[in-house]
Structure 1
């Protein structure tokens, strides 16, 4: 429905929009109702170019959507009728929603160092679950050479060779 209203009204001139929204009320009545200067309104109507400020005030005075009016008259894109900017969306989110989303994203990252994440992000790579982790559970494959503690000498045996007391 919004699309059909917008497409119809986009063919309107500022004068046609003004006449339709105000239902033919006099310029004096419109200016009083909208709290705008009658002289400014008259001048802009003669030029068939209403300013965004006047359009907002007139639409509001007549209980019409100022956003749809600005879209209809070409001041802003119809995309803003549906899309909310990131800052607006974040400001409307509760603290709980924000922290839940942050925790969800942190869980996707795993234990990757922050500088590696930043480098991947700059390179345009998706930051999240590493590509090599496909979620398949496999048998634990223990390779003692991968672990420093496993390749070190047995400290207890070394102490005993030297005749030292055992570690408590």
Structure 2
């Protein structure tokens, strides 16, 4: 029996077809796999961030950070502690939604940019808090604004809610870049 692509798609057990290619539809990752990837990536980033946090469990880092000459608009520590979980939740949900979307060039590019941005968050804490490379960390923060905006723009082609969840991240990165540049300028000789 010969069947057309549209008939094949309606047969029980037949794969769905992609209307553009009339071939099998490319599905996104399964829920458990997408969730595991998101948890692994953000968990790794969180471990790096935690390892470098200027909190009481890292007294040398805390003392160094407290001694820095910071701009007047520097938020209190508790604001950072409140903002990052919200941003990371948005990144987690956005990344999960993208990984569940059908595979394709735009989806793959958006996932790649999501991975890059989550890695850069952990890398930034290494530069700023561990290596105390203030100027380099300010440049890295600016680069994160660019890659974050690229993530949002690319994700919007695939899943608008995922892209929307990345907007606060990019906005915070913009603020963080100005703050990091200010700290770098005020402390160029301190390490």
Q: Shared fold (TM-score greater than 0.5)?
A: no
The structure having more radius of gyration, on CA atoms, is 1
Please report the TM-score for the alignment, with normalisation by the length of structure 2: 0.23
Higher relative contact order (CA 8 A, sep 6+): 2
Task: Name the one with the larger helix percent.
Answer: 2
Please report the TM-score for the alignment, with normalisation by the length of structure 1: 0.26
